Amino acid sequence: MKAVAIKKGQSREAAGFQEMGIVRCDACGEEFMIGHQTAFVDMWVAYQQAYWLEKVLAEEHERDKKHSDQIELPG
């Protein structure tokens, strides 16, 4: 797993990942840290992943699905 979104408060799972930014769910306010493995740090990719994650979080609310603590991001 090169990149992951980790729900804030789950910092123990963030070990080995560099924080690239925070995405906040518009519907519930939960925040997710986008993290990249050190060897794969790329700000442009993180920007694209943030956009993708915003859509995923919105879709989860449409389906009445709870957000996972950790979401693998596309590379």
pLDDT (tens digit, 9 = 90+) per residue, 50-59?
999 999 999 9
Q: What is the pTM of this model?
A: 0.91
- Alpha-carbon distance of 34 to 71, in angstroms, equals 9
- Alpha-carbon distance of 69 to 7, in angstroms, equals 5
| Per-residue pLDDT at 75 | 85
Distances (CA, A) of 74 to 9, 23, 28: 22, 15, 23
Residues 1-11 pLDDT 10s: 799 999 998 76
- Candidates 29, 33, 26; CA nearest to 69 is 33
- Give residue limits of the domains in the chain: 3-72
Give all strands (DSSP E) within 1-75, no chain letters: 3-7, 17-24, 31-37, 70-72
